[in-house]
Structure 1
Amino acid sequence: MKVVAPVRARSVVDIEVSGEDVEALRADVVALTPVGHQLVQVRGRGRVDGLLVGTASFRSVVVEMLEAEGPDYSAALARLMDLAGTERTVLSVRVA
């Protein structure tokens, strides 16, 4: 049996952001968004020297497909999970 699954990197990129107000903070987040990533959250830490400061977290939007085979679904799924490892998230699984 063969299974296929889209996977995405599990890593998160954290970037320090700041701005005079919420709009400026938001503009900083947009300007600093890494290519191929999407914003997950912004954690505010308050004001420092009159600026709003926080940490913006981004995750990759790059998705790749993995395939695995085994004598049955359980074996194929176990093989797929081994291929994905701990560095990638399996988004869904389907039988091919």
Structure 2
Amino acid sequence: MVSKKDDIVEMNIEDIMDVPNEYYSISVPKLKIINAIKEGLDKKKLSVRKLAEKVNLKHPQIIRVTNGNNYNVDTLLKILDGLDLEIEIKPKNNKKKKSF
């Protein structure tokens, strides 16, 4: 769907290419986690190294998470705990956000 608003054309990426379901089931949640961790670091005024010391991890482990690379749940939970964040599990909202 293409819409025009004040001479700004808004397009959905799906208008020009096929987006695999994995994007919505894995990539979008990872981006939410990454953004929450980065915001938590900013709010706490912590560097990745300081957070790593605080939660007894090596800073490359935290970098791996903030880059969206594979990591284990224990690492994620330690990072979130160090930032006073937690995971909330809830049913999916099956509406895909498609505007870019």
> Common fold, TM-score beyond 0.5?
no
- Find the structure with the greater CA-based Rg: 1
TM-score range, shorter chain: under 0.3
Report 1 or 2 for greater relative contact order, CA contacts < 8 Å, sequence distance ≥ 6: 1
- TM (normalized to structure 2)? 0.21
